[in-house]
């Protein structure tokens, strides 16, 4: 009987059929896009979908890119263990969407960039651009390894699927449709995977409601278990999740992910108009709300079912990240194919994130490292280069899954990676976009200081995890377990952030500096970068002697104009392609690259 502990069923033949069908469908979309666009092989077509994408598919892709298998596995476990406070990230998503759409999108869009890090060279110098690109590559490789490994580990121990076999298969499928179909394949596959992810959550909630006697009963159980006490207004920055850490720190964290992360920037600059680009972010915001709401309610459903028999305390599972897969096999095994749908949902999230990462890594490598050194490449050579790099980065991400095997709880580890690296990088961008006095010395020095301090507190917090007093795990019980050795209430388990076992010796700094909430990593890195960068820029003379393009800075028109796109100095050459504008294409980089691609094709034929 569900919720009483003990072993659960394993995959049936139909579960394998559903799971395999999803993987094949994903690969099929990549092949379809490759065949459909076989005559359009330019770099702009491969990396940016020809810059003719529309808002809705791009929005779903934006949502799916970071609502990965980590979300499917980790968010319900978070709600089960710590309550519904994670839902407050909905406020963060709204703030992030407004900042990104109204400040970053107009600036990147009018500059006509392909790599987000092109801006750093335009504003500062090439060295800073290459450092920014390198930071992104390291961050993305680590994160993608975690995305591949964590769901595979949890599902392997529940379903019996071979761990490394699934890892390699996941990477191979992503490599296929990224290599053959480019960004269009990634975006349209993300749309399918987003639908499957949401269907997996709905299946869990619907079945749980039937077992528990309705959604009202689930809500009531969650309230009685303290899972709905989400609004904690304690200003203590050392507490893991409060209203302030999530809304303030979370807003900056998600802004650093969506505004300057190549995986996301590459999507909204692929839109054919600025209006579509902005709208994609606002539609994405709604997608994030729906996803996090379903994920959190899945966790509350899980608590309602296991409120009297916690599978982890009872020894039925080994890690918190196996809670949702265990629940699925416990309550849905009687319906052939439904557990397979859930596994497909988790792996759909993984596929979408990995494919996005591969495509973005190819884009920044080509734009930031190869094109500046090899300027006379033919279109055919560029096409083969893009495809070869897709294979290389796919293999690299699979290899990084081994490193990710020591990263502890998947949800917080993933967000911590972004906080430690993206926070200082966001600070550098804001220094360039908002302050004319910032120079290259101040920007680079500020970012190095911010990165060093953020890595110090982040890595220290992983070695010496915060205590239960700061993380506040909620109590669980094993009193209703059939095979429980005792009918007592189990003590809350330790924090999920540990990369290693708790050391025997705990220095005093561990309970202060190292206990800073992981959600504040981005905010801390951003502020330290900006403050130190401004001070050092003023000390070293600022930018008084430099002539700076006004398009490199945020303007009032960026904040109030939804469809206009001012002509920049960097895009004066696009007037020859103005015939494209009557089609609604005001993407300056699209028209420029499109013309260049056609000229390159003519030169090749001659």
List, for residues 3-42, the tens digit of each pLDDT value: 676 777 777 888 888 878 877 776 676 667 656 655 444 4
Res 142: pLDDT: 80
- What percentage of residues in the chain have a pLDDT greater than 90? 25
Question: Mind listing the pLDDT tens digit for each residue in 343-372?
Answer: 776 776 676 677 777 777 887 888 788 888
**CA separation for the pair 540, 538 (Å, rounded):** 5
In a domain, 58, yes or no: yes
Closest to 168 measured CA to CA, from 152, 192, 188, 186? 152
Task: Give me the DSSP letters along 369-438.
Answer: IITTT-TT--HHHHHHHHHHHHHHHHHHHHHHHHHHTT--SHHHHHHHHHHHHHHHHHHHHHHHHH-TT-
Res 544: pLDDT: 63
Task: Give every CB contact of residue 416 below 8 A, 6+ residues apart in sequence.
Answer: 458, 461, 462, 497, 518, 521
Average pLDDT, whole number, for the chain?
Answer: 77
- Give the number of domains in the chain: 1
Both structure tokens of 327: 């629940």
What are residue 112's phi and psi, to 5 degrees? 65, 40
Average pLDDT for residues 266-276, to the nearest whole number?
A: 80
In a domain, 494, yes or no: no
- Supply the pTM of this predicted model: 0.80
Task: Give every CB contact of residue 271 below 8 A, 6+ residues apart in sequence.
Answer: 51, 53, 54, 55, 58, 277, 280, 587
In a domain, 518, yes or no: no
Q: Which helix (H) or strand (E) holds 477?
A: strand 476-477
In a domain, 169, yes or no: yes
Q: Quick check: 438 pLDDT over 80?
A: yes
Closest to 364 measured CA to CA, from 588, 118, 106? 118
Count, residues in the chain = 606
In a domain, 508, yes or no: no
Find tokens 């392909």 and name the residue.
Answer: 114
Q: Quick check: 581 pLDDT over 70?
A: no
Per DSSP, what are the bridge partners of residue 53?
271
Average pLDDT for residues 298-317, to the nearest whole number?
A: 90
In a domain, 173, yes or no: yes
3-state secondary structure of 170: helix
Res 154: pLDDT: 64
pLDDT band at 54 (very low <50, low <70, confident <90, very high): low
3-state secondary structure of 464: coil
Both structure tokens of 537: 């820029």
CA distances from 280 to 29, 63, 575 (A): 22, 10, 27
**CA separation for the pair 338, 153 (Å, rounded):** 20
Torsion 335-337-343-346 (CA) sign: negative
Per DSSP, what are the bridge partners of residue 490?
476
Res 528: pLDDT: 96
Find tokens 């869990």 and name the residue.
Answer: 204
DSSP state of 567: P
Q: Quick check: 395 pLDDT over 50?
A: yes
Q: Do 420 and 454 contact (CB within 8 A), yes or no?
A: yes
The DSSP bridge pattern shows strands 476-477 and 489-490 to be antiparallel
**CA separation for the pair 587, 109 (Å, rounded):** 7
Higher pLDDT, 183 or 287: 287
pLDDT band at 590 (very low <50, low <70, confident <90, very high): very low
Q: Do 353 and 189 contact (CB within 8 A), yes or no?
A: no
pLDDT band at 440 (very low <50, low <70, confident <90, very high): very high
In a domain, 312, yes or no: yes
Q: Do 81 and 302 contact (CB within 8 A), yes or no?
A: no
3-state secondary structure of 564: coil
Q: Do 24 and 347 contact (CB within 8 A), yes or no?
A: no
**Structural domain containing residue 184:** 13-407+570-592
Res 10: pLDDT: 76
Q: Quick check: 96 pLDDT over 90?
A: yes
Both structure tokens of 129: 């651009």
Q: Quick check: 588 pLDDT over 50?
A: no
pLDDT band at 595 (very low <50, low <70, confident <90, very high): very low
In a domain, 246, yes or no: yes
Higher pLDDT, 47 or 551: 551
Both structure tokens of 386: 């893009």
Q: What is the CATH number of the domain that holds 291?
A: 1.20.1730.10
Q: Do 188 and 202 contact (CB within 8 A), yes or no?
A: no
């Amino acid at each position: 009987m569900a919720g009483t502990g003990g072993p659960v069923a394993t995959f049936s033949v139909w579960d394998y059929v559903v799971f395999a069908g999803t993987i094949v469908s994903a690969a099929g979309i990549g092949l379809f896009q490759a065949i459909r666009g076989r005559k359009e092989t330019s770099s702009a077509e491969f990396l940016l979908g020809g810059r003719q994408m529309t808002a809705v598919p791009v929005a779903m892709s934006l949502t799916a890119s970071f609502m990965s298998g980590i979300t499917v596995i980790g968010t319900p476990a978070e709600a089960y263990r710590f309550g519904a406070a994670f839902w407050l990230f909905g406020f963060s998503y709204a703030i992030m969407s407004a900042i990104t759409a109204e400040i970053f999108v107009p600036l990147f869009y009018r500059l006509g960039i392909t790599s987000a890090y092109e801006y750093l060279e335009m504003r500062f110098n090439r060295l800073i651009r290459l450092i920014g690109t390198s930071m992104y590559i390291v961050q993305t490789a680590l994160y993608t390894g975690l995305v591949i490994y964590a769901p595979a580990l949890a599902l392997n121990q529940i379903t019996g699927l071979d761990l490394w076999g699934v890892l390699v298969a996941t990477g191979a499928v992503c490599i296929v449709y990224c290599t053959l179909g480019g960004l269009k394949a990634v975006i349209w596959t993300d749309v399918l995977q987003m639908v499957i992810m949401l269907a997996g959550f709905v299946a869990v909630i619907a079945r749980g409601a039937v077992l528990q006697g309705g959604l009202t009963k689930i809500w009531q159980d969650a309230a009685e278990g303290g899972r709905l006490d989400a609004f904690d207004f304690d200003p203590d920055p050392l507490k893991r999740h409060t209203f302030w850490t999530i809304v303030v720190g979370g807003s900056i964290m998600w802004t650093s992910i969506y505004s300057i992360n190549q995986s996301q920037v590459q999507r909204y600059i692929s839109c054919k108009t600025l209006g579509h680009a902005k709208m994609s972010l606002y539609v994405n915001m709604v997608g994030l709300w729906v996803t996090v709401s379903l994920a959190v309610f899945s966790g509350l459903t899980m608590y309602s079912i296991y409120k009297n028999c916690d599978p982890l305390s009872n020894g039925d599972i080994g890690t918190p990240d196996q809670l949702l897969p265990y629940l699925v096999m416990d309550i849905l095994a009687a319906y052939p194919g439904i557990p397979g749908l859930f596994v497909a949902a988790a792996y759909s999230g993984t596929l979408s994130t990995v494919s996005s990462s591969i495509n973005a890594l190819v884009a920044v490598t080509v734009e930031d490292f190869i094109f500046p050194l090899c300027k006379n490449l033919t279109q055919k050579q560029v096409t083969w280069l893009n495809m070869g790099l897709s294979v290389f980065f796919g293999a690299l991400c699979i290899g990084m899954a081994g490193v990710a095997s020591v990263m502890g709880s998947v949800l917080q580890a993933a967000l911590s990676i972004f906080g430690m690296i993206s926070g200082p990088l966001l600070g550098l961008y804001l220094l360039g976009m908002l302050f004319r006095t910032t120079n290259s010395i101040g920007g680079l020095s500020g970012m190095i200081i911010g990165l060093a301090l953020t890595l110090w507190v982040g890595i220290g917090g992983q070695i010496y995890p915060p205590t239960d007093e700061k993380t506040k795990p909620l109590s669980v019980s094993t009193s209703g377990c059939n095979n429980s050795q005792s009918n007592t209430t189990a003590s809350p388990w330790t924090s999920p952030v540990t990369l290693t076992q708790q050391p025997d010796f705990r220095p005093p700094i561990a309970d202060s500096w190292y206990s800073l909430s992981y959600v504040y990593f981005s905010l801390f890195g951003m502020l330290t970068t900006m403050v130190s960068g401004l001070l050092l820029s003023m000390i070293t003379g600022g930018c008084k002697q430099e002539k700076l393009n006004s398009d490199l800075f945020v303007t009032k028109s960026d904040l109030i104009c939804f469809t206009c796109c001012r002509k920049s100095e960097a895009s004066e050459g696009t007037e020859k392609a103005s015939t494209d504008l009557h089609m609604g294409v005001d993407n300056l980089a699209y028209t420029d690259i499109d013309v260049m691609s056609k000229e390159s094709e003519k030169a090749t034929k001659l």
